[in-house]
Structure 1
Amino acid sequence: MAAGSDPIVGASRDGRSTRWDPHRRERRQAIITAAIAAIEEYGPEVLTARIAEQAGVPRTHVYRHFDGKRALDLAVSAHIGNEIGEHIRGGLAVGGSARDIIGAAIGQHLRWVEEHPNLYRFVAQHAYAVRAKDSRSAVDAKAAFAAELSVLVERYLRALGVDAAAAERVIVGVVGLVDATAAWWLEGGGTPVRAVLTAELTGRVWLLIDSVGRDLGFELDPDRPLPDLP
């Protein structure tokens, strides 16, 4: 065995290193949480110094856990994307008619945008960088909405005996419409009120889904309960 390759010494060194992993993960998550709070308060262009202050650590400590500002932005975007996905998933889980489900999902999405305008702006600015790194990540409102909607629409199409591949054509149109409208609404000062915009968007999204459905050879009553999914 070559000098310096004692497996016991190596295992000991590895053990000393890995026992700090939980602490590193906790500190990393604390910085992400602090970054989100700072973005909410100061806006999407918040400086790292503000984030460090929010986290209660020196600025240099932030970059012990993230390899530069871009890495921090990607981590924050991914965390926010997961949060958005959870909110949308709650709306999609209501069951009922197509109109009920569409309205609940859109309502949850708009509620999150209304409650977290600076986070919405932040992920819109930084999502392109995450997609370049990993196109599968749900890192902004559009990606999160698409991911959750894709799963549900595909399951319903299969339940209705329709080719699930057709779901992509539905989702592209729905996601683009909802996200563009949400961005316009946010920058317009939240007018009309969320309930009115939710109802308007629900009607428009239903027209899009109905049109695609007719092209595929099936028709749905928007107010009739959909079949239970397994």
Structure 2
Amino acid sequence: MKSTAVTPPTRAGTVPQRRDRRDSRWDEHRRARREQLVTATVAAVGEHGPGVGMEEIAAAAGTSKTVVYRHFADRGELHLAVCARVAEQLLDALRTAMTSTDKPRQMVSAAIDTYLAFIEADPELYRFVVHAPADRDPTADPIAGLSELVGEQATALVAMALEGAGRPTAAAEPWGHGLVGLVRSAADRWLSSPDPMPRAELTAHLTDLAWAGLSGVVTRTTTEETR
């Protein structure tokens, strides 16, 4: 009788299977298509505002809602993908700004101005990002919120300032996230104002307030140690 080669079973009695190369090609196609839909969403937000509907997003992508839902389970998942792109762009800009100087106060000013410039350039996209849709599952957020990531950058900035002053960095995290809350609240009010002040002026005011608090704490604790 002619023998037949049998692939030896793996643990649990399963037979290893190779992934068809066509599957890998489809993975790349799906990834590219998702990126195209995110780009279309950004364009639709620019045209229709942060309350843009899925039909308008599909139209911007030159397709149907059915195709959009083939790649994103719901509006919440699409929102997360847009947030991830915006976060990446903003964080890149913040890192560039923060490494443009080695002076802590100038770092604070550069970071604040970069944040304000980013939202000034596309306020509708900013509003879309910071107001999550009702159907978004917060536990599925891969970036843990845009403010959270910006807060981490601010924490690193404050830690650098404290290290430069020879101070412990334990307070860097609450101060860093507090700084983000300060800037975001002021930025939201600035965007909604019918007669907003120039960005440079707002940057100067926020820098003065933030740096007065930070430098004041550093100076006070250093003085206390020398008493």
TM-score exceeds 0.5:
yes
In structure 2, relative to structure 1, the CA distance for the partners of 1:109 and 1:138 (3 Å cut) is farther
| Aligned residue among 83, 96, 102 for 1:77 | 83
In structure 2, relative to structure 1, the CA distance for the partners of 1:97 and 1:159 (3 Å cut) is closer
Equivalent AA in structure 1 for residue 42 of structure 2? I
| 1:63 aligned partner | 69
Count of aligned pairs between the two proteins: 212
Q: How does 1:120-139 map to 2 (within 5 A)?
A: 120-126=126-132, 129=136, 131-134=138-141, 137=143, 139=145
In structure 2, relative to structure 1, the CA distance for the partners of 1:217 and 1:15 (3 Å cut) is same
Measure the CA separation in 1 of the matches of 2:194 and 2:90: 21
| Aligned residue among 139, 145, 153 for 1:148 | 153
Q: Conserved in 1, the CA contact under 8 Å of 2:112 and 2:183?
A: yes
Equivalent AA in structure 2 for residue 184 of structure 1? R
Higher alpha-carbon deviation: 18-27 or 81-90: 81-90
Measure the CA separation in 2 of the matches of 1:20 and 1:143: 33
Measure the CA separation in 2 of the matches of 1:124 and 1:78: 12
Q: RMSD over aligned Cα, in angstroms?
A: 2.5
Measure the CA separation in 1 of the matches of 2:133 and 2:115: 17
Q: Conserved in 1, the CA contact under 8 Å of 2:45 and 2:52?
A: yes
After TM superposition, the score normalised by the length of structure 1 is: 0.81
| 2:99 aligned partner | 93
Equivalent AA in structure 1 for residue 101 of structure 2? G
Measure the CA separation in 1 of the matches of 2:86 and 2:137: 12
Structure 2 spans left out of the alignment, 5+ residues:
1-7
The 3-state SS of whatever aligns with 2:186 is helix
Listed one character per residue, the Cα deviations across residues 73-110 of structure 1 (whole Å, up to 9, x for unaligned) are 11112221222212222221221433322211111111
Equivalent AA in structure 2 for residue 161 of structure 1? G
In structure 2, relative to structure 1, the CA distance for the partners of 1:130 and 1:147 (3 Å cut) is farther
Listed one character per residue, the Cα deviations across residues 170-216 of structure 1 (whole Å, up to 9, x for unaligned) are 21321111110000000004611111111111111111212332354
Higher relative contact order (CA 8 A, sep 6+): 1
Structure 1 spans left out of the alignment, 5+ residues:
220-230
